[in-house]
Structure 1
Amino acid sequence: MSEPQSEASRIVGERIRATRLKLGLSQEDIADLAEMHVTNVGKIERGQANPTLSTLVSLAGALNVDAAEWIVNLTAAMLPERTHTVTAADLIRERHRLAR
């Protein structure tokens, strides 16, 4: 089995799966409702795919939930490809320091 794309994609996938199971629906059910292929649903639920905003909104619409529930408390640190650790607050603080 393939590893998750990232910690963030794993968490989102788990949250989508939990929503689906809570409603008693199959992957096939939500794939049909969201107008997507069932293999994509499975990959998303396993964290093996990074769903686009359109895909998240489509799945949320099919499950009648707010997509924000699936991404709450995710951080940039959960993305392995992120190379910067500087935030906007750090940049602003440094600019103010240099302007003195």
Structure 2
Amino acid sequence: MPRIHSEAARLIGQRIRRARQDLGISLENLGELAEVNWTSVGKIERGVSSPTTETLIRIATALEVDAGDFLHGITADAYNARHHQLTAREFIEARTHAGRRGL
């Protein structure tokens, strides 16, 4: 069985599958409506593939859902390991603080 791309991909796929099943349409139907290959939709639903922005919007439009609903609450931590945990604000504050110390 293929490996999950990331926790974020798994969550997005789960949300897409739920929306599709709530409407009672098949993967093939969703693929046709979204103009995305249905096998790609299947990979996205299983979390094996992470959708591009365009694909996510095409799928959301076909399902009559806001694409943001599929992303709600997902952060960078849901993707593979990050090298640092700083936000832009934290980075700027650290740089400003280091500048005051003459570094």
TM-score by length of 2: 0.90
Structure 1 range deviating more: 31-40 or 75-84: 75-84
The number of residue pairs the alignment matches comes to: 100
Task: Give the secondary structure class of the aligned counterpart of 2:24.
Answer: coil
Q: CA RMSD in A?
A: 1.1
Q: Deviations over 1:56-91 (max 9, x none)?
A: 000011111100000011011111153222211211
Deviating runs (4+, > 6 A) in structure 1?
Answer: none
- Sequence identity of aligned pairs in percent? 44
* Residue 41 of structure 2: aligned partner: 41
Partner of 2:93: 93
The amino acid that maps onto 1:90 is E
The unaligned stretches of length 5 or more in structure 2 are: none
User: Radius of gyration: which is bigger?
Assistant: 2
- Matches of 2:97 and 2:36 in 1, distance apart? 51
Q: Find the residue that maps to 1:16 and give its secondary structure.
A: helix
For 1:73, what is the secondary structure of its paired residue?
coil
- Separation of aligned partners in 2, 1:89 and 1:53: 25
Equivalent residue runs for 1:8-87 within 5 Å: 8-87=8-87
